[in-house]
Amino acid sequence: MTTGATATVRGTRAPEALGRTLMHEHVFAVSAALANDRPELAFPHGRAAAIDATVARLQEVKDAGIDTIVDVTVFGHDRDIPALVEINERVDLNIVVATGFYTEDLPSKTFEIRQALARQRGRNFYVDVFVADIVDGIGTTGVHAGIIKCVTGPEGLTRGSKGLLRAAAIAARETGVPITTHSDPHTRGGLEQLDLFAAEGVDLIRVVIGHSGDTTDTDYLKAVMDTGATIASDRFGYDLPGTPATPERVAVIADLCAQGYADRIVVSHDAMLHTDWLDADYTAMFPRWTPTYIPTEVVPALRDAGVSEADLQQILVHNPARLLAAVAEGAS
- Over the chain (332 residues), the average pLDDT of each successive run of 10 is 78 96 97 94 96 98 98 97 98 98 96 97 98 97 98 97 98 97 98 98 98 98 98 96 96 98 98 94 95 98 98 98 83 42
Please tell me the predicted confidence (pLDDT) of residue 1.
28
Q: Which residues contact 29 (CB under 8 A, 6 or more apart)?
A: 73, 77, 78, 79, 80, 272, 274, 275, 276, 277
Please tell me the predicted confidence (pLDDT) of residue 272.
96
Please tell me the predicted confidence (pLDDT) of residue 237.
97
Spell out the domains of the chain, with CATH numbers in brackets: 6-324 (3.20.20.140)
Report the distance separating Cα 331 and Cα 20, nearest Å.
26
Spatial CA neighbour of 98 closest among 140, 135, 133: 133
Helix (H) / strand (E) element for 12: namely strand 11-13
Report the distance separating Cα 271 and Cα 236, nearest Å.
9
Please tell me the predicted confidence (pLDDT) of residue 4.
85
Please tell me the predicted confidence (pLDDT) of residue 327.
86
Q: Which residues contact 23 (CB under 8 A, 6 or more apart)?
A: 70, 180, 208, 232, 234, 266, 267, 268, 320, 323
Maximal C-alpha separation, the chain: 58
Please tell me the predicted confidence (pLDDT) of residue 332.
38
pTM: 0.96
